[in-house]
Amino acid sequence: MTLQGTPVLILKEDTSRTTGRDATSSNIAAARVISEAIRSALGPKGRDKMLVDNFGDVVITNDGATILKEIDIAHPIGKMMVELSKIQDQEVGDGTTTVVILAGELLQQAAELITSDKIHPTILVEGFRVATEKAEEFLNEIATDVVADDQDLLVQLVNTTMGSKIVARSSDLLAKIVIDAVKSIDPGTGKIDIDDIKIEKKEGEDIESTILVKGIVLDKEVVHAGMPKSLENPKIALIAEAFEVSKTEFDSELSITDPSKIQEFLDREAGMIQKMVDKIVESGANVVIAQKGIDDIAQHLLAKQNIMAIRRVKKSDMEKLSKATGANIVSSIPDLSASDLGNSGKIYETKVGDDDMVFVEDCPLAKSVTILIRGGTELVVDEAERSIHDAICVIRNVLEDKKIVAGGGAPEAYVSRKLHKFSESLVGREQLAVQAFANALEVVPRTLAENAGLDPIDIIVALRSEHESGNTKAGVDVFQGKVRNMDNVIEPLRVKTHAITAASENAQMILRIDDIIASKASEGPGGPPGGPGGDMGGEDFD
């Protein structure tokens, strides 16, 4: 910049800067590229994406969050879109593709107003904010209350979620498994922690072999061949301490001059381990599940007492075991008592695929359960896991909120029509912003139609006509190729509300940016051009 004809350098010489309309256009273009990249994956007729990383690992999916997570995106606005999809997945589990498409279309509508009507981005931001508040209000108008005992409705919800996945043909079976799992961990307080559902995957057999275990499945094996491999009504001790003589925190040397002292030293170590085992026996436990290691001597002594032991179990699995069996996690073996033990109907080791696994089944509390997913290949199992995660979140949402809306783009079409009517009560350019928001919502039914090979113009015209006549559940039936009442395709209200709100907030944030200052990283000493000390591609906005 210059001051009274004198140049003043504020930024580094190699810093690039983009301001005003150029910055806005660049950001909108970046967001639109991300939106268009996953648009064809929306809906039951959506297409899958094959993602191959630098190591040759392949992911095949149509899950929006997974697609964006696997793409190496450099542009910061692109990264914002990835984060948008990630948050949608974390908060509500479904609608990860919808939220990105909506954000991209909102920005496209905004770009047209900025270019053609010379509307300032600040006015658009305010209009979008007003439209978002009204959209939430309109969504609640068409929401239907449900009861948790309506099994058929819950199965319909899962079928809608899985309709676009490769597991769609097995959705009825998986729906029952997911619903049973979520209900099992429901504490009845109105908040459900889905982390209490453990998901294990093993290649082999097919999706139909997926099962729900009312307990915990551990991808571990019994540590000693002499231990029992199956027990009925076991008494389970959960130990966070290692079954071995603790080592000093600093290096030390032990000098022994008398050979007889070596045996004495070993005997003392064995005696310390024997005391640990004696404490286990005294407590009445016949199963030990340890978070850390179990010494070879301890394994031998436990086997002599006919005690089953499993070691190196993850902390998260220990916590799930505690919830399932009622056992307390004991951090010091001398403190173990009978009151700390948990129980289950049975515990056994069995072979699943090529690996041995331990099943802790028929737990009386069952406040933590396991879904064991089977499938022909690793790719199928991974995609099944993503589908089941989405379904778990959807059931969680409905059991907590007890509200649903129709699918097939019906909510977006309804809110779009209502926003157009609402905009008539506004004056000034804010009216155009609300109308742009309303137009953007129609991208969902339009994309569903496009992905099904239907004429999007005919579908949108028919959809508007149905909603004008009062059919608020009219949506796009991609299988019959027409607009109809979507009573059998339902989604949680929370998914739609969060998708529209999050997409709007993201679009508003991008529109508020009017200055992009990109600094290139300085080269490290002796670093090769473009290497670790060279330019950072992630900062290149071009």
390 catalytically annotated: yes
Winning range, highest mean pLDDT, from 26-30, 53-57, 444-448 = 444-448
Cα–Cα distance, 219 to 372 (Å, whole number): 11
Q: Please tell me the least confidently modeled range out of 115-119, 387-391, 475-479, 525-529.
A: 525-529
Q: Is the pLDDT of residue 157 over 70?
A: yes
E strands present in 64-129:
none
pLDDT at 10 over 80: no
Q: Are 197 and 182 in contact (CB under 8 A)?
A: yes
Does the structure show a pLDDT above 90 at 251? no
Q: Which of 18, 24, 61, 97 is catalytic?
A: 97
From the candidates 18, 96, 132, 160, give the one annotated as an active-site residue: 96
Residue 464: the pLDDT is: 94
| pLDDT range class, residue 8, cuts 50, 70, 90 | low
Dump pLDDT digits (tens) for 87-98.
Answer: 998 888 888 899
Instruction: Measure CA 223 to chain center.
Output: 33
Q: Which of 390, 472, 477, 497 is catalytic?
A: 390
Q: How many CB atoms lie within 10 A of CB 149?
A: 8
Q: Which residue has the higher pLDDT, 66 or 270?
A: 66
List of domains in the chain = 18-144+406-518 (1.10.560.10), 149-214+372-401 (3.30.260.10), 217-360 (3.50.7.10)
Residue 209 has pLDDT above 60, yes or no: yes
Catalytic residue among 18, 24, 61, 63: 63
Residue 201 β-bridge partners: 373
Task: Show the tokens assigned to 491.
Answer: 């989604």
Distance CA 192, CA 483 (A): 36
The predicted structure's pLDDT at residue 427: 83
Q: Residues 134-151: pLDDT tens digits?
A: 999 999 999 999 887 888
CA distance 474 to 274: 72
- Looking at residue 314, what is its pLDDT? 93
Amino acid 11: pLDDT: 63
Query: Which of 60-74, 316-330, 426-440 is least confident?
Result: 60-74
Over residues 405-429, the pLDDT tens digits come to 999 999 999 999 999 999 999 888 8
Q: Is the pLDDT of residue 4 over 60?
A: no
Asked whether the CA dihedral 133, 134, 140, 143 is positive or negative, the reply is negative
Cα–Cα distance between 49 and 467 in angstroms, integer? 34
| 96 catalytically annotated | yes
* Predicted local confidence at residue 509, as pLDDT: 93
- Evaluate if pTM is beyond 0.75: yes
Find the mean pLDDT for residues 209-231.
94
* 25-41: average pLDDT: 90
For every residue of 268-336, which 3-state class applies, written as one string? HHHHHHHHHHHHHHHHCCCEEEECCCECHHHHHHHHHCCCEEECCCCHHHHHHHHHHHCCCEECCHHHC
Q: DSSP readout, 21-53?
A: HHHHHHHHHHHHHHHHHHHTT-STTPPPEEEE-
pLDDT band, very low/low/confident/very high, at 232 (cuts 50, 70, 90): very high
The encoded tokens of residue 162 equal 């899985």
- The question of whether 540 is a catalytic residue gets the answer no
Question: Are residues 108 and 32 in contact, defined by beta-carbon separation less than 8 angstroms?
Answer: yes
On the question of pLDDT at 6 being above 70, the answer is: no
Return the pLDDT at 383: 87
User: Using 50, 70 and 90 to split pLDDT, how confident is the model at 104?
Assistant: very high
Indicate whether 15 pLDDT > 60.
yes
DSSP letter for 524, please.
P
Mean pLDDT rounded to a whole number for the chain = 86
Inform me whether the pLDDT recorded for 532 exceeds 50: no
The mean per-residue pLDDT over the stretch 486-508 comes to 93
* Least confident range of 16-25, 181-190, 236-245: 16-25
Span 491-518, mean pLDDT? 91
Position 14 pLDDT exceeds 80: no
Query: What pLDDT was estimated at residue 267?
Result: 61
